[in-house]
Amino acid sequence: MSLILKRSQSTIPKLPTHKPFSKAQQAYLERVIRVDQAGELGANFIYAGQYLALSHKPELKPILRRMWDEEIHHHNTFNSLQTEYRVRPSILTPAWKAGAFIMGVATGLLGKEGAMACTEAVETVIGNHYNQQLRTLSNGFTDIQELDSESCSDSKTISDLKETIKVFRDEELKHLETAVEHDSHEARPYWLLTESIKLTCKAAVFTAERI
Amino acid sequence: MLFRGSIAKPNLYRATFTNSITNRLFHTVYHADIPILDESIFENKILKKAYEDHVPETGFTEESIKLAAKGLNYNLDNLKGVFNFTSQSKDLRVELIQYHLKSCRLKLRNYHNDANRLQTETERVRFYLEKRLLENKPIIKYYHQALARMILPSNLTESLNELHKLSDDISFYSGDKSNDFAWYSKRFSLSGVFIQSELFMLNDRSNNFENTIEFMNDKMDEVDNMAYAYNSFEEWAIFNGISTVNLIKSQLARG
C-alpha cells in the first residue's frame, strides 16, 4: 500500500508531458478507440443474446455469465476512454447493438455448440485485431518528444492504452479457449458458420473504424 | 504503413487556419494540444487587431483589415497575397469571421470555474451558451454580414465545422458522457439552439440581450423535454420487452 502511495506521489508529472501527436497519429488513435468501443459493445450484446437463449441450461449459465461480465468490463473501459479522449462514437451504434444481439440470440438458438462456434469466430477476429493495434501503437508512436527533454518516449496515454489492449486481448483469447473446450468444433455446419461470422466481424470492424 | 517516417512535427501547424478543416481532435492531458488560435502568427496578429479595434466600427470588411495592418505599421499593399498562401478560403472577410468564431470559442475556457459550481449538465450547457452568445455583443451591429458570408456554399463546410466544434466543446466542458447515438443528438440540438438564438439576437433590442437569453433557455427546455420523452419511452419499451420474453420463457418451462 505504502509503495503504491509513494509511487503515485512521485509520478505526478507536470501536465502535459509530451508534444502533440501528428495528425495521422491522432486520426489513428481516434479509430482505435472508436472501433474498440464498438467491438466491445458488440461482444457485450452478443453475450446478452446468448445468455437470453441459453441461460436455462445450468451447466452453461456460469460460463456465459463469467465471459459476459468480462465483456461488460471491457465495454465500460472503452466507454470511459471515449469520453475522456473526446472521440466520436460510431454513428452506427444502434445498428451494432441490434445486429450483435440478433447474432447472439440466433447462435444461442442453434444450441451450445453454435454459440461456442460464434464465440470462437468473434474472438479470433478480435484477437488478431488487437494484435494489429498493438503493433502499430509500438511502431508508429516512437517519435513523440517529451516537452522538457527532447528525448522520445511513450506518454502515459500510449502506455496505458497498450496495457489495456494487452490485458483485453489475453482475456478475449481465453474466451476463445473456453469456446473450443466446450465443443465449438462440434457445431454444424462448422466451417460455414465460423467463416461467415468472421467475415461479418471484419466488415463491421472496417465500417466502425470509419463511421 | 500509416506511420512510415517521421510525421510528428508540430510546426506543421503553423499556417493560420489551414489545419482547422480537420475533425475534432483526439485529446489527452498528457500531450500538448494544438492551439485553437496561434496568436504568434503574423496573420493572426493583424486579424486580432482588426477584430478588436476596427470590426465594431467598420464591420467584417477588408477595410477593417487594412486599417489594422496600417495601425501595426505593416506596409502591405498585397494583404490578399499574404493570406492567399496560408488561408483556406482565400477571402479576407472569411478569415476575419473565422477569427471571431475561434477567439470566442477560445474564451469559453475562462468560465470553467464558474460553470463547475453549477449542479447539472443542462445548467452548465445553458451557462456556456449564454456566455458564447454574449460574446457577439461588440460586433452584433455587423453580425448579419458575417452570417450571410458564412452560409455561402463555398464557406459553408468551414462554418459548419466551426459550429460543430463549438457544440462539441460546450458538451465536453459541461461534462457530457454519452457513448452512443445520444452523442450526435446532443451536439445537433445544441448547434440548432445556438443558431436560432443567434438569429433572434440580430433583432434583439432588449437590455443586455435578456430576451435572447430567455429565448435560448426556452429552446433548451424544448430539447430537454424531447430527451426526457425519448428516454422514458425507451425505458418503457425495454422493460416491456424483457418482461414479455421472460413471460414466454416461463410458460415454455411449464410445458
Q: Establish if B121 touches chain A: CB-CB under 8 angstroms.
A: no
Q: How far apart are CA A135 and CA A104, in angstroms?
A: 30
Cis preceding-peptide flag for B10 (omega within 30 of 0): no
> Is residue B5 in a domain?
no
How many residues are present in chain A? 211
Average pLDDT over residues B138-167: 90
Query: Which residue has 472577410 as its cell numbers?
Result: B93
Q: Establish if B250 touches chain A: CB-CB under 8 angstroms.
A: no
With pLDDT > 90 as the criterion, what percentage of chain A qualifies? 57
Specify whether the CB–CB gap between A194 and A117 falls below 8 A: yes
Query: What is the domain count for chain A?
Result: 1
> Is residue B4 in a domain?
no
pLDDT at B15: 35
Query: Which residue has 505593416 as its cell numbers?
Result: B74
pLDDT, tens only, B154-198:
888 889 999 999 999 999 999 888 888 889 999 999 999 999 999
Query: Which residues constitute the domain of residue B205?
Result: 35-254
Q: What is the DSSP string of A31-47?
A: HHHHHHHHHHHHHHHHH
What is the grid cell recorded at B242?
Answer: 424483457
Residue B76: in which H helix or E strand, if any? none
Query: What is the domain count for chain B?
Result: 1
Q: What CATH number corresponds to the domain at position B73?
A: 1.10.357
> Is residue B126 in a domain?
yes
Over 90: is that where the pLDDT of B249 sits?
no
Q: How far apart are CA A42 and CA A201, in angstroms?
A: 9
> Is residue B87 in a domain?
yes
Specify whether the CB–CB gap between B190 and B222 falls below 8 A: no
Over 80: is that where the pLDDT of B21 sits?
no
> Is residue B175 in a domain?
yes
Rounded to two decimals, the pTM is: 0.82
> Is residue A99 in a domain?
yes
Q: Which of chain A's residues have a Cβ under 8 Å away from the Cβ of B25?
A: 26, 86
How many residues are present in chain B? 255
In whole angstroms, how far apart are CA B88 and each of A77, A170, B200? 39, 47, 30
Q: How far apart are CA A14 and CA B30, in angstroms?
A: 9
Any bridge partners for residue A152, and if so which?
A145
Burial A175-198 (b: 16+ CB within 10 A, else e): bbebbeebebeebeebeebbeebb
Give this complex's ipTM. Answer: 0.82
CA distance A24 to chain B (A): 7
Hey, of A25, A40, A101, which one would you mutate to test binding to chain B, going by the most B CBs within 10 A of its CB?
Answer: A25
pLDDT, tens only, A136-189:
998 888 887 777 777 788 888 888 999 999 999 999 999 999 999 888 888 888
> Is residue A80 in a domain?
yes
Q: How far apart are CA A165 and CA A8, in angstroms?
A: 22
Q: Which chain A residue has the Cα nearest residue B30?
A: A16
Q: How far apart are CA A101 and CA A87, in angstroms?
A: 24
What is the grid cell recorded at A159?
Answer: 502506455
Any bridge partners for residue A145, and if so which?
A152
In whole angstroms, how far apart are CA B209 and each of B109, B144, B198, B201, B214? 22, 16, 11, 7, 9
> Is residue A10 in a domain?
no
Query: Higher confidence at residue A63 or residue B83?
Result: A63
Are residues B31 and A20, on separate chains, in Cβ contact within 8 Å?
yes
> Is residue A5 in a domain?
no
Any bridge partners for residue B185, and if so which?
none
Of the candidates A20, A27, A143, the beta carbon closest to that of B34 is on A20
pLDDT at A39: 93
Q: Which of chain B's residues have a Cβ under 8 Å away from the Cβ of A94?
A: 180-181
Q: How far apart are CA B35 and CA B23, in angstroms?
A: 14
> Is residue B166 in a domain?
yes
Question: Can you list the positions of beta strands (E) in chain B?
Answer: none
Q: Across chain B, what does the average pLDDT equal? A: 82
Are residues B7 and A25, on separate chains, in Cβ contact within 8 Å?
yes
Specify whether the CB–CB gap between B73 and B96 falls below 8 A: no
Of the candidates A52, A85, A140, the beta carbon closest to that of B28 is on A85
> Is residue A7 in a domain?
no
Hey, of B23, B28, B181, B246, which one would you mutate to test binding to chain A, going by the most A CBs within 10 A of its CB?
Answer: B28
Residue B115: in which H helix or E strand, if any? helix B112-116
Q: How far apart are CA B169 and CA B166, in angstroms?
A: 5
Of the candidates B6, B26, B176, the beta carbon closest to that of A26 is on B26
CB atoms within 10 A of CB A53: 21
Query: Higher confidence at residue A164 or residue B84?
Result: A164
> Is residue B219 in a domain?
yes
Hey, of A18, A82, A83, A92, which one would you mutate to test binding to chain B, going by the most B CBs within 10 A of its CB?
Answer: A83
HSE-CB for A211 with a 13 A CA cutoff: 8
> Is residue B234 in a domain?
yes
Query: Which residues constitute the domain of residue A107?
Result: 22-210
pLDDT at B8: 36
Q: How far apart are CA A180 and CA A110, in angstroms?
A: 16
What is the grid cell recorded at B154?
Answer: 463555398
> Is residue A200 in a domain?
yes
Specify whether the CB–CB gap between B133 and B145 falls below 8 A: no
Query: Which residue has 459548419 as its cell numbers?
Result: B160
Q: Is the dihedral of CA A208, B3, B8, B14 positive or negative?
A: negative
Specify whether the CB–CB gap between A122 and A43 falls below 8 A: yes
> Is residue A2 in a domain?
no
> Is residue A17 in a domain?
no
What is the grid cell recorded at B196?
Answer: 436560432
Q: How far apart are CA A118 and CA A102, in angstroms?
A: 12
CA distance A104 to chain B (A): 15
Question: Nearest CA to B214 among B223, B230, B201, B229?
Answer: B201
In whole angstroms, how far apart are CA A9 and each of A5, A146, A168? 6, 20, 28
Q: Which chain B residue has the Cα nearest residue A28?
A: B2
Q: How far apart are CA B88 and CA B15, in angstroms?
A: 10
Of the candidates B26, B178, B180, the beta carbon closest to that of A85 is on B26
Q: Establish if A19 touches chain B: CB-CB under 8 angstroms.
A: yes
pLDDT, tens only, A189-209:
888 999 999 999 999 999 999
Of the candidates A22, A27, A89, the beta carbon closest to that of B183 is on A89
Q: How far apart are CA A90 and CA A92, in angstroms?
A: 5
